[in-house]
Amino acid sequence: MQKFHQQLLAQSEAIWKKILNHRFLKLTTDGSIPDDTFKAWMRQDYIFVREAIPFVALLLAKAPIQLRSNFIDIISGLNTELKMFRKNAEAHGVNLEHVIPSPTCHAYIQFLMNIAYNGSFEEGFTALYAGEKVYFDSWMEVKRNQKNQSPWQEFINNWTSEGFSGYVDWLAVTLDELAQGKPERDLKKMEEIFLLIARYEYLFWEMAATAEAWPV
Ligand code: MP5
């Protein structure tokens, strides 16, 4: 029988393919990504990771006691990641101050916050798994196919490390446990959230590739 996380991935196969084939990842892989394009992603993703901290903290407040320590580690990992962003920003002359979240980044964060405040713990956990799994698969695609070191190597290595891979596996196993015995209605909601996050993730690459911005 298919596990719940496998079912989610199977249902999202079409959008997943589009994510992994996105030109942002292809150009990063072959080294031809314009600096400004990568830097646009970096600035937006810095905001995303910064705002992921309150998102995960809200989930921590709803988490079963036995998962609290995992959530503390996740928050700590996000904080370490922010330092990696700041270090690379400094090295590449990227200004991370006063970044205005683009329409996609803004909408994605709002969606996550809405789930964290108004959704169940299981719904929030599903969103977390979806976002992390996309990043793992996306950066693995880059790592597997790159022929030369990239100026952005630290980002590539960050989401393809053994530690990150183990964390994403843990999310999948834990999500399967959380889904066990849940009524069909709850599982349907989790499936909807998973697909929506995957769609936002696609749009996030698109946002960076097109330098998406507000009209004024
Ligand atoms: C992640 C991210 C991965 N940094 N940005 C987006 C748009 N989606 C997912 O999350 P984390 O917390 O950096 O591992």
> Tell me: the pLDDT tens digits for 135-168?
999 999 999 999 999 999 999 999 999 999 999 9
Burial of residue 206 (number of CB atoms within 10 Å: 0-12, 13-18, 19+): middle
Residue nearest (by alpha carbon) to ligand 1 atom 5: 45
Query: pLDDT at position 209, please?
Result: 98
Rg of the chain over Cα atoms, rounded to whole angstroms, equals 17
Residue 25 pLDDT > 90, yes or no? yes
Query: pLDDT at position 47, please?
Result: 98
Q: How confident is the model at residue 97 (pLDDT cuts 50, 70, 90)?
A: very high
CB contact at 8 A, 131 and 193: no
Strands (E), the chain: none
Residue 86 pLDDT > 90, yes or no? yes
Distance of CA 201 from the midpoint of ligand 1 (Å): 9
In this prediction the pTM is: 0.98
CB contact at 8 A, 186 and 180: no
Query: pLDDT at position 1, please?
Result: 87
Atom of ligand 1 nearest to the CA of 105: 7
